[in-house]
């Protein structure tokens, strides 16, 4: 079972690499403003998880430089479980005005990013 999942994961990564979406390019002043905003965001994810790949592709299409955190590794694994509430990826950590929100579900994360940055 593990080996099948590992092979599927490699196939997903390969397809994602070969068919990488076009990265959005903005004028540099505008990109700097967006980068300042995305500094308060972090994506907890697994590299080969298909739902995480979907979110990373959406980030690339929007030209969003959001930090990715491997939720299989410490301390991110514990942060996700203890502060987010469950060990499920992808999860977007959103910090706004001192408040932290943990947004699960790839569809909801993409919708949030599209609404905020499109």
Q: Is 87 in the site for ligand GSH (CB under 6 A)?
A: yes
Cα gap 81→23, rounded to integer Å: 31
| One character per residue 35-64, x = contact with ligand GSH (rule: CB under 6 A) | -----------x--x-x-------------
Stretch that binds ligand GSH, among 3-11, 23-31, 58-66, 100-108 (CB under 6 A): 100-108
Q: Which residues contact 43 (CB under 8 A, 6 or more apart)?
A: 52, 55, 56, 59, 66, 67, 68, 69, 90, 91, 92, 93, 109
Interatomic CA distance for residues 43 and 52, integer angstroms: 9
With CB under 6 A as the rule, give the number of residues binding ligand GSH: 10
d(CA 11, CA 73): 22
Instruction: Please report how close the Cβ of residue 65 comes to ligand GSH at its closest, in angstroms.
Output: 21
Q: How far is the CB of 91 from ligand GSH (least distance, A)?
A: 8
Cβ at position 59, least distance to ligand GSH in Å: 14
């Amino acid at each position: 079972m593990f080996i099948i999942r590992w092979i599927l994961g490699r196939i997903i990564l390969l397809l994602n690499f070969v068919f990488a979406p076009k990265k959005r390019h903005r004028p540099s002043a505008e990109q700097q403003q967006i980068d300042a905003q995305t500094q308060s965001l972090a994506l907890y994810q697994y590299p080969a998880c298909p739902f995480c790949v979907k979110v990373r592709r959406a980030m690339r299409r929007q030209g969003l430089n959001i930090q990715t955190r491997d939720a299989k590794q410490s301390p991110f694994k514990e942060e996700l479980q203890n502060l987010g509430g469950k060990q499920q990826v992808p999860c977007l950590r959103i910090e706004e005005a001192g408040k932290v929100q943990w947004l699960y579900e790839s569809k909801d994360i993409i919708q949030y990013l599209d609404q905020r940055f499109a």
